[in-house]
């Protein structure tokens, strides 16, 4: 049966707003819930409670759809072609714990493994990003993204670039990240300059929305998960942005590959991707 994407989208927004009220009224503490992988991979009671609230409402309204959420994911769970809600109840948990208000509910719907609806809501700033595949991306439901007509992407030197350290701070993948960050930031030999700036704001979903809006030119990360990117991916694409692999060479990343680079709309996207890939030192193993 054909899905009523508009109705599903509107329902997802209502749930995201409800979840947002729960998040802003919470007192974050990691003590009861503990951390997951190591001392910087945080999870709070609020993450769990908000995911429960979201999954309960979604299952009630759409009992035939699948659900994948950060807090209930088990190693080995895979995404299927069935319509699947993909949810990160709090993207930017570290920010939430520190009361830094760059935090979002990231709620996506994938259909046939394609990100199809995206809702990203920051309840602290009450900023809502939303998109349905093929129907444009919006800020607060009314302002079309990107916010201004995109200028051409000339060279990486003139870009504002978002990267993230993530929670895995060791091994090959950490070396690939940190060496590439240094290469992006440094004045390059023989002239050619350096990027205008590097930003690490701590929410993959909001980073994707920043690229969709046009305020960040490129976002590059490996190690994030489907729930970090599903919703933002739709918003990015609908705003004219593109998503490719963080490892050089793959123009068609899949949602579960855990390596992404987003480039904003505008002429010269392919050239920027190639220039960036040329700076990547080594290859990520995650994926």
Measured in whole angstroms, the distance separating CA 23 from the mean position of its chain's CA atoms is 19
Ligand-binding annotation for 90, yes or no, is yes
> Whole-angstrom Cα distance, residue 154 to residue 267?
8
Catalytic residue among 70, 217, 238, 257: 70
Tell me which stretch binds ligand IPD (CB under 6 A): 123-131, 169-177, 199-207, 267-275: 199-207
Residue numbers 229-258 binding ligand IPD by CB under 6 A: none
- Helix H or strand E encompassing 174: helix 171-185
The answer to whether residues 92 and 203 touch, using CB atoms and an 8 Å cutoff, is yes
The answer to whether residues 257 and 156 touch, using CB atoms and an 8 Å cutoff, is no
Binding flag, residue 88, ligand IPD (CB under 6 A): yes
Whether 91 is catalytic is yes
Whether 88 is catalytic is yes
Whether 173 is catalytic is no
Whether 271 is catalytic is no
3-state secondary structure of 198: strand
The least CB distance from residue 166 to ligand IPD, in Å, is: 4
The least CB distance from residue 92 to ligand IPD, in Å, is: 5
Residues in the chain, total: 287
Q: In terms of CB distance, is 153 or 233 closer to ligand IPD?
A: 233
The answer to whether residues 220 and 177 touch, using CB atoms and an 8 Å cutoff, is no
Binding flag, residue 92, ligand IPD (CB under 6 A): yes
Whether 31 is catalytic is no
Ligand-binding annotation for 88, yes or no, is yes
Binding flag, residue 269, ligand IPD (CB under 6 A): no
Whether 228 is catalytic is yes
Q: In terms of CB distance, is 153 or 261 closer to ligand IPD?
A: 261
The answer to whether residues 283 and 236 touch, using CB atoms and an 8 Å cutoff, is no
The residue whose Cβ lies closest to ligand IPD is 164
Helices (H), 112-268: 171-185, 204-213, 226-238
> Whole-angstrom Cα distance, residue 92 to residue 164?
11
Tell me which stretch binds ligand IPD (CB under 6 A): 61-69, 90-98, 137-145, 273-281: 90-98
- All residues at 6 or more sequence positions from 202 whose CB lies less than 8 Å from its CB, including other chains: 92, 94, 95, 100, 102, 164
**126-154 exposure pattern, b = at least 16 Cβ within 10 A, e = fewer:** eebbbbbbeeebbbeeeeebbeeebeebe
Residue numbers 207-226 binding ligand IPD by CB under 6 A: 221, 223-224
Binding residues vs ligand IPD (CB under 6 A): 70, 88, 90-93, 164, 166, 202-204, 221, 223-224, 228
Binding residues: 70, 88, 90-91, 228
Catalytic residues: 70, 88, 90-91, 93, 228
Binding residues for Mg(2+): 70, 88, 90-91, 228
């Amino acid at each position: 049966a054909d899905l009523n994407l508009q109705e599903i989208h509107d329902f997802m927004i209502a749930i995201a707003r409800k979840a947002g009220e729960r998040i802003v009224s919470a007192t974050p503490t990691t003590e009861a819930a503990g951390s997951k992988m190591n001392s910087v991979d945080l999870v709070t009671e609020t993450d769990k409670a908000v995911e429960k609230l979201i999954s309960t409402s979604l299952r009630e309204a759409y009992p035939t759809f699948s659900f994948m959420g950060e807090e209930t994911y088990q190693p080995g769970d895979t995404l299927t072609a069935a319509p699947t809600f993909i949810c990160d109840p709090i993207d930017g948990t570290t920010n939430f714990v520190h009361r830094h208000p760059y935090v979002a509910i990231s709620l996506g719907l994938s259909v046939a493994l394609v990100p199809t609806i995206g809702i990203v809501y920051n309840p602290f700033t009450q900023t809502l990003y939303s998109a349905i595949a093929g129907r444009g991306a919006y800020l607060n439901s009314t302002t079309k993204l990107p916010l201004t007509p995109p200028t051409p992407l000339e060279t990486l030197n003139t870009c504002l670039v978002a990267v993230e350290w993530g929670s895995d701070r060791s091994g090959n993948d950490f070396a690939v990240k940190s060496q590439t960050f240094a290469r992006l930031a440094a004045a390059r030999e023989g002239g050619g300059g350096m990027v205008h700036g590097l930003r690490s704001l701590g929410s993959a979903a909001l980073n994707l929305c920043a690229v969709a809006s046009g305020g960040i030119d490129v976002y590059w990360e490996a190690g994030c998960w489907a729930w970090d990117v599903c919703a933002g991916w739709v918003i990015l694409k609908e705003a004219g942005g593109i998503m490719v692999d963080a490892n050089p060479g793959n123009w068609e990343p899949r949602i579960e590959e855990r390596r992404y680079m987003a480039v904003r709309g505008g002429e010269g996207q392919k050239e920027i991707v190639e220039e960036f890939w040329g700076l990547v030192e080594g290859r990520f193993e995650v994926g």
